[in-house]
Structure 1
Amino acid sequence: MSIDFTSHYLMTIDGQPTDSGRHLEVINPANEDVIARVPDATREQLDAAVAAARQAFPSWAATPLAERQALVSAISEKILQNLEGFAQLLTREQGKTLDYARYEIGGSAAWFGEFAKMAPSEIIIEDTPEHLVKTRHVPIGVVGAIVPWNFPVLLAVWKLAPALIAGNTIVLKPSPFTPLTALKLGELINQVLPAGVVNVVSGGDDLGPWISAHPDIDKVSFTGSTATGRRVMESGSRNLKRLTLELGGNDAAIVLPDVDIEETAQKLFWGAFSNSAQFCLAIKRLYIHEDIYDPLSKALVAYARTVKVGDGAAADSQLGPVQNAVQFERLKNLLADVRNNDQQILLGGEVLQGKGYFFPLTIVDNPPEDSRIVVEEPFGPILPLLKYRTVDEAIERANASEYGLGGSVWGKDLAQAEAVAQRLQTGKVWINEIHVLTPYTPFGGHKQSGVGVENGSDGLHEYTNAQTISIRRK
């Protein structure tokens, strides 16, 4: 059955398309038009979704792994069959360019396809004629998955795929800013899986706290801000929910003095500004050695001037708008702070009037280390360049943050670059590349950037409990 991406944006509860008596408006960030209205779930509807997942859990958990893998693989195939419809809808609700939307949807299909090849591990600890001890991984139960607006499909799949392979059932909540693709994903999944295994509910600010505190949800997997993650952890503690929290980041890149300036400038630009810098793993603090600070900053500015920002649906756009008005206003406030403190702006800095949440690509020249633009996570296209003298100084400054999500090191001397990388207090570090992510590569935040791991076998096991069986044979 084909998916209609132009209308009928309904929740999926116990396999049934479900509306609500109240609705939320969805805005196209490129022109601020209302493009759809979606259900705003009531507490009773959330209870129904959780009850459906609870009822479906025993049968789904008992389904042989090979059958679960085949069904998850079938979801991957159906996404590929509907790739263009998903991509165009994603651009309309999120703002990213069509090419980048296609990349996200294709990646989502790949994640389902690759996780369909994985399996929870079973480890034999002791195997003697007298004694057998083994540890296996069993599903947790009902998972509440709370997804942000920057990658609304891919980050949903990061939760759905391992949870399903592990044998859990799910209640998925998309961001109220970007619910359309998730609701259509629920519709698609319902064509493949038994009723109740995956439920998708949309709603406003009340729905997330209802999920994190719900007594019949056994685990919450949340991607979003650190402040909200703390609240999720607090409410989840009431029944000792299992938690995976992928939270904020203020990722530092350290550029060593031996890099190729022109080549590295382009890589650094996209490392910072991809998805209009609405990326938890984006470069948000760029530390450049003083010997190359001036030529590299000029190369960055020159390259940035060639990049077209516009409506993501336009063929020539390379970056789209900021996704929502709340984030747009926050970025304008950060920019005002830069100006009020007389910090020099190398590029951008002027927000044009007109429709759409278009924030100019902005580069700030060596602001103080304690300035807001350095300390806070902008989550938008404004980047501070920071000058350093010694490698030890750069590492110390990079680590002087409550966040520890990702980071990168750039230099021709790979031994030196790796030595720097090993000293960064982050869950993920790239050397001479960035944002290379695969279903098989685990990562998780250090410090205030999160709890737990996503992707890889470690990420799969986040959706399981370990169970050790000990057998006395003689």
Structure 2
Amino acid sequence: METTATHTIDGKPVDGVEFFDVINPATASVFARAPDASRAQLDLAVRAARRAFESWRAVPAEERRKILFGFASAIRAQQQGLAQLLTREQGKPLAAAIREIDGTAARIEGLAKFELTPETLRSDERGRVVLDYQPLGVVGAIAPWNSPLLLGVQVAAQALVAGNSVILKPSPFTPLATLKLGEIAGKTLPRGLFNTLSGGNELGRWMTEHEGIDKIGFVGSVATGKKVLASAAASNLKRVSLELGGNDAAIVLADADVDAIAPQLFWSAFVNSGQRCMAVKRVLVHESLLDRLGAALSRLANQVKVGDGLEPGVELGPIQNRPQFERVLGLIEDAVRRGGRALAGGAALDRPGYFIAPTVITGVAEGTPLVDEEQFGPVLPLLAFSDVDAAVSRANATRFGLGASVWSANPQRAADIARRLEAGTVWINSHGGSVPEIPFGGFKESGVGRGLGLMGIKSYAEVRVLHLPL
């Protein structure tokens, strides 16, 4: 069993005082142990990050960019080892893990190209008014378990570009690759700038309460995001950015080409075994296409290779952890009890690990938890509609608002419908994906603020208005 993982504090490896088990979801067995940070270790990390911040904030943007590009290169240099570790702890296929490592490096590079520069708001006989951006200080980044490196570094990179220092906490379900990333950071970034600590929910609470942390960037569930927001407000009113869950609707119009869109829709829903905040979570399809689309998606579900992510050719891995595995199975069973019909899948696979067969369900409607909640697993409900206006209303009738999409042979008509959807991102004839230069976030309970792009980086700075003489 591997027990070599360490925290990184002030650029140095720090052993755990206590440890917790890490489970391979493809086998449901413990394969490693990770260090469980103490409150004293968090205090050490905060002090180290504060010292590093005072130096980093004065580093010119171009020099920061070169340093961060060096960090990205160092990550790519260890891509294979990081990917193997990520697959073992998260479950995703090795090819997907390699893409995540590459995407993590690309996130750093893409965000590092931005620079916060002063903006002149007024310049006349009354004088000049200039808006400038000042870094906040120490940022606590709390990452989820579905794409732990990509999403943890996404928060951290925005903070670093804006001139802050970082303490990154991975999910206790997937701590190992992030801790290895901390080792890389310790060797390539200024000392104390990028600290990594692993631990459970208690460590997350300590971070949100800590008065030495100036902002929390959190990616995860709505329920936990609400707790983060409340805790941060109760301590030192620290700034908070939240990228939370979604219940993304895809609206398929009557003129859509089923054969052409079915593979895109399938992978938009099932990539990473459905464990993706921006995945398609429900499909509203015109009644004339329901049977054809259901058959096409079911064929794909039955053909896809599910298994251990380290096995050759595997396309979908397991659910990452037992609680989520049991939750998704419960949603499927509840939907079937309510009259739903599984066109494909519908049950766990008869093998070790947290595997659920890719599942397509019809005969369900709003009011069913599978439809109303975020399933975050390999199951997709199809719901028929006859009236487009009603479909838009149904798509919007949710507390979530992360993403949505419209599928049609008429892109202009689809665009008109897209403008009526209450979501942070709406796609036409595609669904999902984000890039460093374009802001991403959600309406309603799907988040607070926007990440990525210049807008995201600005959210990791304080805005100062300067009234200056002409």
- Classify the TM-score, shorter chain: over 0.9
1:182 aligns with one of 178, 185, 191: 178
**Counterpart of 1:32?**
28
Residues 131-146 of structure 1 aligned to structure 2 (within 5 Å): 131-146=127-142
| C-alpha distance in 2 between matches for 1:351 and 1:305 | 14
Counterpart mapping for 1:101-120 below 5 A: 101-120=97-116
Q: Counterpart of 1:55 in structure 2: which amino acid? A: R
d(CA) in 2 for partners of 1:335, 1:359: 10
Q: After the TM superposition, which residues 54-93 of structure 1 pair with which residues of structure 2 at under 5 Å, given as runs?
A: 54-93=50-89
2 CA distance for matches of 1:273 and 1:8? Answer: 34
**TM-score (norm. length: structure 2):** 0.98
2:95 aligned residue (94, 99, 108): 99
Q: Which residue identity does 1:383 align to in structure 2?
A: L
- Whole-angstrom distance in 2 between the partners of 1:117 and 1:368: 46
Match of 2:155 among 151, 155, 159: 159
Q: Secondary structure at the match of 1:25?
A: strand
1:18 equivalent in structure 2: 14
- Paired amino acid for 1:221: G
> For residue 222 of structure 2, what is the amino acid of its counterpart?
T
CA displacement, residues 47-72 of structure 1 (integer Å, 9 cap, x when unaligned): 11111111221111111111111111
- Please report how far the alpha carbon of residue 196 of structure 1 lies from its aligned counterpart in structure 2 after TM superposition: 1.1
Question: CA offset at residue 267 of structure 1?
Answer: 0.5
Give distance in 1, aligned partners of 2:168 and 2:248.
28
Alpha-carbon separation, structure 2, partners of 1:459 and 1:366:
40
Paired letter, 2:152 = A
In structure 2, which of residues 401, 405, 418 is the aligned counterpart of residue 404 of structure 1? 401
How far residue 43 of structure 1 moved from its aligned partner, in angstroms, is: 1.0
Partner of 1:460: 457
Matched-pair contact (CA < 8 Å) for 2:103–2:150? yes
Alignment of 1:219-298 (within 5 A): 219-238=215-234, 239-298=236-295
Please name the residue that 1:125 is paired with.
121
Describe the superposition over 1:366-418 as per-residue Cα deviations: whole angstroms up to 9, x where unpaired.
Answer: 30211111011110011100000111011000000000001111111111100
| SS of corresponding position for 2:64 | helix
Once the 2 structures are TM-superposed, how far is the Cα of residue 350 of structure 1 from its aligned partner? Answer: 2.3
Q: Report the counterpart of residue 3 of structure 1 in structure 2.
A: none
Distance in 2 separating the partners of 1:443 and 1:281: 10
339-348 vs 285-294, greater mean Cα deviation: 339-348
Rounded to whole Å, the distance in 1 between the matches of 2:67 and 2:379 is 42
Give the superposition deviation at 1:208. Answer: 0.8
How far apart are the structure 2 equivalents of 1:58 and 1:319? 45
Counterpart position of 2:311: 314
Report the alpha carbon displacement of residue 204 of structure 1 after superposing the two structures with TM.
1.2
CA–CA distance in structure 2, aligned partners of residues 431 and 261 of structure 1: 15
Deviation of 1:28 after TM superposition, in Å, equals: 0.8
Displacement of 1:129 in angstroms is 6.2
Deviations 1:231-253 (A, max 9, x none): 11111112111110011111100
- The amino acid across from 1:183 in the alignment is L
- Indicate conservation of the 8 Å contact 2:173/2:321, yes or no: yes
Question: 1:398, 1:64 → 2: CA distance?
Answer: 46
1:349-388 mapped onto 2 (5 Å cutoff): 349-388=346-385
Give TM-score, length-normalised by structure 1: 0.97
Q: Which amino acid aligns with 1:122?
A: P
Q: Displacement of 1:333 after TM fit?
A: 1.4
Query: How far has the Cα of 1:7 moved from its partner?
Result: 6.2
CA–CA separation in structure 2 for the residues paired with 1:400 and 1:11: 43
d(CA) in 2 for partners of 1:248 and 1:177? Answer: 18
Q: Distance in 2 between matches of 1:276 and 1:426?
A: 23
Q: Percent identical across equivalent pairs?
A: 47
**Structure 1: 5+ residue stretches without partners:** 1-5
Q: Which amino acid aligns with 2:257?
A: D
Give the whole-Å Cα distance in 2 for the aligned partners of 1:32 and 1:351.
Answer: 13
Distance 1:62 1:328 in 2: 47
- Once the two structures are superposed, residues 14-73 of structure 1 have per-residue CA deviations (whole angstroms, 9 ceiling, x without a partner) of 111111221011111111232211110111111111111112211111111111111111
In the alignment, is the contact (CA less than 8 A) between 2:415 and 2:428 conserved in 1? Answer: yes
CA drift at 1:339: 2.7
Contact 2:36–2:199 at 8 Å: present in 1 too? yes
Match of 1:450 among 439, 447, 451: 447
Structure-2 separation of matches of 1:444 and 1:116: 20
Counterpart-to-counterpart distance in 1, 2:338 and 2:363: 12
* Count of equivalent residues: 468
Q: Secondary structure at the match of 1:62?
A: coil
Aligned residue identity for 1:60: W
Alpha-carbon distance change, 328 to 388 in structure 1, aligned in 2, over 3 angstroms: same
Give the root-mean-square deviation of aligned CA atoms: 1.2
